[in-house]
Amino acid sequence: MPYCEVDRYQAGDKWEGVRLFYRRYGRGATKVLLVIGLAGTHDSWGPQIRGLTGSMEPADGGDEPEPAARTDEEAGAPADAPAPATATEEEDVGEGIEVCCFDNRGVGRSTIPPHKSYYSTSIMARDALALMDHLGWKKAHVFGHSMGAMISCKLAALAPHRLSSLALLNVTGGGMECFPKVDAQMLSLAFRFLRARTPEQRALVDLETHYTKEYLDEEVESCTRRAILYKEYVKGISSSGMQSNCGFEGQINACWTHKVTTKELDTIRAAGFLVSVIHGRHDIIAQVCHARRLAQRLLPVARMVDLHGAHLVSHERPQEVNNALMDLIKATKSATAPHEWSSQPENTSGLIVMAFEHVRNIVRVTKPVRVAAIESS
C-alpha cells in the first residue's frame, strides 16, 4: 500500500518513523497535491478528485487490506515504506491531471506521534514536501482546506519554487482566528462535539458544522440530504475509526500555534504563482472575514472566491469549487499576469450561485439532486 516515510521522532531511547498514507488518482503532466484539514482523511477530497481527474479509481492500486495507523506503541519495527515513485513529471505525457491526497500525521492510516510537540503547520508542511519528493514531483498545484490551507501556506513560504499555484479553501490565519463566532449555536455544538463518543454522535455534530441548514434540509427524492449524509458520515467514521485523542490534540496544537508572518507573505507574493482564496460565506468555523483579510494581504497575486456555503463548501458547492480550481490551473498554464488574475470580480461565481438560489426558492425545483458521497468527516 502507498506509504511514505517523511520524518522521524524520538520515543525514549528509540527513533520512530512518521509515515503518511497517500493515494494517487488520474495521470498527466499537471500535478495537484490536496492537503486536508483537521481530523479529515484523504478521501474527504472526493468531489475534487472526481472533478479534477474524472475518476475515483486510485492509480496506485485497488483497495487491498490496509494496515491501521501506527501509534507510538505499535511502531517498534522499521517502516516498510515503498521505494519512491519512479514516474516523474518528465515521464508524464498528455494534458491530464494527476492528484495526490494523503492523511496528515495524527489521523487516518498515517502515523500518530504521541505528543503535541510533534505537530505544527511547519512540520506538516515539511511532511507534504517530503511526499512530493517521494513522488518525484518537482512542482505541483497545492490546494488545502482549513488546517490543510494553513499547512499549504507554510509549504508555499518554505519552498515557493515547488508550487505551480496555491488554493486556500476555508482558511484562517490560525491562533485566535481559529475561534468561531461565539453564540448559543456554537456553544451547543462545542459541548456536543466534546461529548461525542460514537460515530452517530460525531456525525450529528459534523453535519451542523460542515453544511448550511438550507443545504441539509433540501429534499432529495424521498428524504433530505441530512438523512443521506448522516448515513454516509456514520459509515465513514465507523470504517476509519474516531480520531485518537493525541492525534486530535496534536492537530489542534498545529492550528492554535499557526501564524503566517509578514516575511512569509512577502515570499509567497514574490514567488510568481497565482493564489485563489475560496470560502463559504456561511462558515461558522472559519469566519469568512479572516479569509478576505488574507486574500487582501496576498494582493496582487490572490483572488477571493466567495461562495454560498459553509465550512465544507467543497462538498456543498463542488461544481463551483472545482471550476475555481480549474480556473487557477488554466490561468497558470496561460501565464496570466497577477494583476489580471486578481482584478477579475471576486464574487462572479457567487453572484451566479445567488441568482440560482433565488430562482430555486421561488420555483422550488423538485428534480432529484445528486449527492456527492463522503467517506469521512
Domain residue ranges in the chain: 3-61+93-180+244-346
Q: What pLDDT score was predicted for residue 182?
A: 81
Q: What pLDDT score was predicted for residue 375?
A: 35
Q: What pLDDT score was predicted for residue 350?
A: 42
End-to-end CA distance of the chain: 22
Q: What pLDDT score was predicted for residue 15?
A: 82
Closest CA to 303 of 331, 270, 283, 264: 331
Q: What pLDDT score was predicted for residue 206?
A: 92
Q: What pLDDT score was predicted for residue 64?
A: 46
Q: What pLDDT score was predicted for residue 186?
A: 84
Q: What pLDDT score was predicted for residue 93?
A: 53
What residues does 224 pair with on adjacent strands?
A: 219
Q: What pLDDT score was predicted for residue 292?
A: 97
What residues does 16 pair with on adjacent strands?
A: 9
Q: Give, for all 377 residues of the chain, the pLDDT tens digit.
A: 799 999 988 777 788 899 999 999 999 999 999 999 999 999 999 999 999 999 999 997 655 444 444 444 333 333 334 444 444 444 555 689 999 999 999 999 999 999 999 999 999 999 999 999 999 999 999 999 999 999 999 999 999 999 999 999 999 999 989 888 788 888 888 888 888 889 999 999 999 999 999 999 999 989 999 999 999 999 988 887 788 999 999 999 999 999 999 999 999 999 999 999 999 999 999 999 999 999 999 999 999 999 999 999 999 999 999 999 999 999 999 999 999 999 876 554 444 433 344 334 433 333 333 333 333 33
- Between CA 363 and CA 251 the distance in angstroms is 44
Q: What pLDDT score was predicted for residue 367?
A: 34
Q: 3-61+93-180+244-346: what fold? A: Rossmann fold (3.40.50)
Sign of CA dihedral 112, 148, 161, 327: positive
Compute and round to an integer the Cα radius of gyration of the chain.
20
Instruction: At 25, list the grid cell.
Output: 488518482
Instruction: At 313, list the grid cell.
Output: 463548501
Count CB neighbours of 228 within 10 A.
16
Q: How big is the CA angle at 145 (ends 48 and 298), to the nearest 5 degrees?
A: 115
- Between CA 292 and CA 91 the distance in angstroms is 39
Task: Please state the three-class secondary structure of the chain as a single string.
Answer: CCEEEEEEEEECCEEEEEEEEEEEECCCCEEEEEECCCCCCHHHHHHHHHHHHCCCCECCCCCCCCCCCCECCCCCCCCCCCCCCCCCHHHCCCCCEEEEEECCCCCCCCCECCCHHHCCHHHHHHHHHHHHHHHCCCCEEEEEECHHHHHHHHHHHHCHHHEEEEEEECCCCCHHHHCCCCCHHHHHHHHHHHHCCCHHHHHHHHHHHHCCHHHHHCEECCEEHHHHHHHHHHHHHHHHCCCCHHHHHHHHHHHHCCCCCHHHHHHHHHCCCEEEEEEECCCCCCCHHHHHHHHHHCCCCEEEEEECCCCCHHHHCHHHHHHHHHHHHHHHHCCCCHHHHHHCCCCHHHHHHHHHHHHHHHHCCCCCCCCCCCCCC
